[in-house]
Structure 1
Amino acid sequence: MRSTRTRLRLTGALVALLLSAGVPAAQAVDDQPTLAELAQRHGRYFGSATDNPELTDEPYKAILGTEFDMITPGNGMKWYATEPQQGVFDFSKGDEIVNLARANHQRVRGHTLVWHSQLPGWLTSRDWTADELRAVLKKHIQTEVRHYKGKVYAWDVVNEAFNEDGTYRETIFYKTLGPGYIADALRWAHQADPKAKLYLNDYNVEGTGPKSDAYYRLVKELQAQGVPIHGFGMQAHLALQYGYPSTLEDNLRRFSRLGLDTALTEVDVRMYVPADDAELATQAQWYRDMTEACLAVRRCVGITLWDYTDRYSWIPAFFDGEGAALPWDEELRPKPAYFAIRDALQ
């Protein structure tokens, strides 16, 4: 083990030297196993989200197509994109990413069937009766899941269903249908593709606490009712100023004990910019710690970065003054976080 770590440190130093000499990042790490190949040795996947506008960027696409073995469409499978008018479906954006993934021998996580955000105006601009909304929701879920049947490994069926205090989020679905919409969504998705893994997914649930406790109780209730539920996704949008979720491994373990797969589904670690070396070192340690936590829990099946490069990170547009959240920088050069992940996977 020591010789492997020593070799890896030498590799990291060599890559840094090559980068400083102007050698492209992809070429610098070309002869090393990819993150996906390293993760596969542990029976895990290592993935990235992507989005359609980025796919014209060939250097970006080259790394996306080689370094990862699981792809999540960042926006192309959300409701506003897939059913822009009631009953009129458009899967072109999702199809583009699925086809790219298949060409690169990558699997796909579908994201997301039921979410309170990025809904089309026709859905949010009127009041629905419970019967009407149930029919709309069922048709949307089943049409989309059937379209991708056999092409999507897992679905984030219901996304962000709880508030921070563990109460149900007051979404259009909750207010009109009550909490049973979650069980219905899972049943409908399972009917449409019985082989797809079905997940609940949320942020700020990496550690134990009121929000993750609410999901833990919900999963037990769903299981008692015989509702198909296969996984729990922890987004892991972390920020240096809020501290690392020290109970992450314990939390992964308790959901695994319920018989669920778990996954880190939307990982990034943001900070105030410009970042200094100390912050980048802390970020690298957090990426290492998250990777090691997943490897320590047998049913943690994999990790997905919420895109892999700062060039396409969502963070700067949503968190003023923050960024530098991903393992590759805006020039597609690997950062200390990248080598920390590699080290953990070694």
Structure 2
Amino acid sequence: MKIKNQLPFLLAILIVSVGCKEVDDSPSKPSTLRNVFENAFYIGAALNFNQINATDSVVTSLIGREFSSITAENIMKSMNIHPQRDTFNFGEADKFVALGEEYDMFIHGHTLIWHSQLSNWFREIEDSTEFAMATEKHVRDIVTRYKGRIHSWDVVNEALNEDGTLRESIFLKKMGEDYLASSFKWASEIDPETDLYYNDYNMTNLKKREGAIRMVKHIMDQGIKVDGIGMQGHWHLNYPSLEEIEQSILDYAELGVKVAITELDISVLPNPRDLQGAEISQNFENNERLNPYKEGLPDSIQVKLANRYRDIFKVFLKHKDKISRVTFWGVNDGQSWLNGFPVRGRTNYPLLFDREFKPKAAYDTIIALKKRFDSELSSN
């Protein structure tokens, strides 16, 4: 590799390492994400179809080495795992769980109730009572299948509008707001030991944050178990602010629940119309201005990305007692959904591993940050 290509890595390490004491690596504990963060929180990744099927042994080995938790990117969503009313497709989900067990990982299920990527047969049910019964069976059957094997679930995904009110989803229209509490109740009755989460994007925004807190508190006030709130970290180089991220963690933790950063990626590309979040129904037309790094990421942006990850992980480490899991939404840049959202056909660089599964400057930066954090703790 040419020295020029190493520049972002060297710069990023230098930025976080100034003033850092030496920390010796144990020969039995190489400096992987999994090992370095093992005393802080689970470090996870969302896996795609090929990764779950272990089509590349080198990639599979990297996943097992670097991550202590996994989430299925798509194969456990309704349209894939329950395509027909009387037909479940458990094959891929079984492989996903088996992979996690093989590498002794924390296994997270995504997702039981979501209005998007919903099986068409749900929409064909007109009677509200029949719809509620079908929804209950969907939840109970899937949780039963993986009882004792999946350690946590996104029970309900993206049920809120940006102003904190409930989204007019098919579940709200057919079942009323009771569908929220009922979904958590059904899952907890089947597997009382699994952790149950509410998961959503833009959870750092004040109005949505307040709505999420009201909603979760309302469920808990009924004596129904909610173990955690998932903050989807679909963030950018400049926003949300670190203050918004930190205050959100504090506010959710005040409920007495765990906080998970569930879908972390940092877009480096221009954002059309200041779009925030992950509303997948939105798409914009591609153009040169919105896709500036087709040939590769400039060193200056590589360093900005590393610094952004460093600053965010400083917040995470400061509040590691409140955070259960940090999950990247993908393993490498080529896999990222941000290559197609909110503009199709772009080239984005939001994760810690590049398109060849090589660690980027951001990877080295947060490893160095965690070592410095541990060194400072041990010296106090």
For normalisation by structure 2, the TM-score amounts to 0.80
Residues 1:334 and 2:332 aligned together: no
Q: Which residue of 1 aligns with 2:340?
A: 317
Could you say if the C-alpha distance between residues 102 and 4 of structure 1 is closer, same or farther in structure 2, counting changes exceeding 3 Å? farther
Whole-Å Cα distance in 2 between the matches of residues 102 and 243 of structure 1?
35
Whole-Å Cα distance in 2 between the matches of residues 243 and 185 of structure 1?
30
In structure 1, what residue type is equivalent to 2:249? L
Q: 1:253 aligns with which of 250, 253, 275?
A: 250
Q: Which residue of 2 aligns with 1:308?
A: 331
1:169-220 deviation digits (Å, cap 9, x = unpaired) = 1111011111111100000000111000000001111x24111110011122
Q: Which residue of 1 aligns with 2:74?
A: 75
Whole-Å Cα distance in 1 between the matches of residues 20 and 150 of structure 2?
36
Whole-Å Cα distance in 2 between the matches of residues 331 and 31 of structure 1?
24
Q: Which residue of 2 aligns with 1:343?
A: 368
* TM-fit CA distance, 1:52: 1.8
* TM-fit CA distance, 1:2: 7.7
* TM-fit CA distance, 1:65: 1.2
Within a 5 Å distance, the mapping from 1:1-346 to structure 2 comes to: 5=20, 7=22, 32-42=30-40, 44-54=41-51, 55-124=54-123, 126-205=124-203, 207-240=204-237, 242-272=239-269, 273-274=292-293, 275-297=297-319, 298-320=321-343, 321=346, 323-346=348-371
* TM-fit CA distance, 1:101: 1.1
Identity of aligned residues (%): 34
* TM-fit CA distance, 1:6: 5.1
Could you say if the C-alpha distance between residues 306 and 278 of structure 1 is closer, same or farther in structure 2, counting changes exceeding 3 Å? same
Aligned residues of 1:294 and 1:302 also touching (Cα < 8 A): no
Whole-Å Cα distance in 2 between the matches of residues 161 and 335 of structure 1?
35
* TM-fit CA distance, 1:278: 2.4
Aligned residues of 2:235 and 2:267 also touching (Cα < 8 A): yes
Whole-Å Cα distance in 1 between the matches of residues 85 and 17 of structure 2?
59
1:279-338 deviation digits (Å, cap 9, x = unpaired) = 222222222222222222212112011112112111112232351010111011111111
Whole-Å Cα distance in 2 between the matches of residues 213 and 243 of structure 1?
16
Whole-Å Cα distance in 1 between the matches of residues 218 and 318 of structure 2?
27
Q: Which residue of 2 aligns with 1:26?
A: none
* TM-fit CA distance, 1:7: 4.1
In structure 2, what residue type is equivalent to 1:227? I
Aligned residues of 2:42 and 2:106 also touching (Cα < 8 A): no
* TM-fit CA distance, 1:127: 4.3
* TM-fit CA distance, 1:261: 0.4
1:107-135 deviation digits (Å, cap 9, x = unpaired) = 201000000111112122x2422211110
Specify every segment of 5 or more residues in structure 2 that has no aligned partner in the other structure, as ranges. 1-15, 270-291, 372-380
Whole-Å Cα distance in 1 between the matches of residues 237 and 342 of structure 2?
13
233-242 vs 154-163, which deviates more?
233-242
In structure 1, what residue type is equivalent to 2:175? L
SS in 1 for 2:210: helix
Whole-Å Cα distance in 1 between the matches of residues 314 and 186 of structure 2?
35
SS in 2 for 1:169: coil
* TM-fit CA distance, 1:155: 0.2
* TM-fit CA distance, 1:4: 8.5
181-190 vs 77-86, which deviates more?
77-86
* TM-fit CA distance, 1:244: 3.6
Whole-Å Cα distance in 2 between the matches of residues 4 and 259 of structure 1?
36
Aligned residues of 2:242 and 2:315 also touching (Cα < 8 A): no
Aligned residues of 1:204 and 1:235 also touching (Cα < 8 A): yes
Whole-Å Cα distance in 2 between the matches of residues 59 and 256 of structure 1?
38
* TM-fit CA distance, 1:340: 1.9
In structure 2, what residue type is equivalent to 1:5? C
Aligned residues of 1:81 and 1:93 also touching (Cα < 8 A): no
* TM-fit CA distance, 1:31: 7.2
Whole-Å Cα distance in 2 between the matches of residues 241 and 291 of structure 1?
15
146-155 vs 299-308, which deviates more?
299-308
In structure 2, what residue type is equivalent to 1:216? I
Whole-Å Cα distance in 2 between the matches of residues 154 and 88 of structure 1?
24
Aligned residues of 1:108 and 1:151 also touching (Cα < 8 A): yes
Q: Which residue of 1 aligns with 2:8?
A: none
SS in 1 for 2:324: strand
In structure 2, what residue type is equivalent to 1:116? H
SS in 2 for 1:56: coil
Could you say if the C-alpha distance between residues 31 and 153 of structure 1 is closer, same or farther in structure 2, counting changes exceeding 3 Å? closer
SS in 2 for 1:5: coil
In structure 1, what residue type is equivalent to 2:265? D
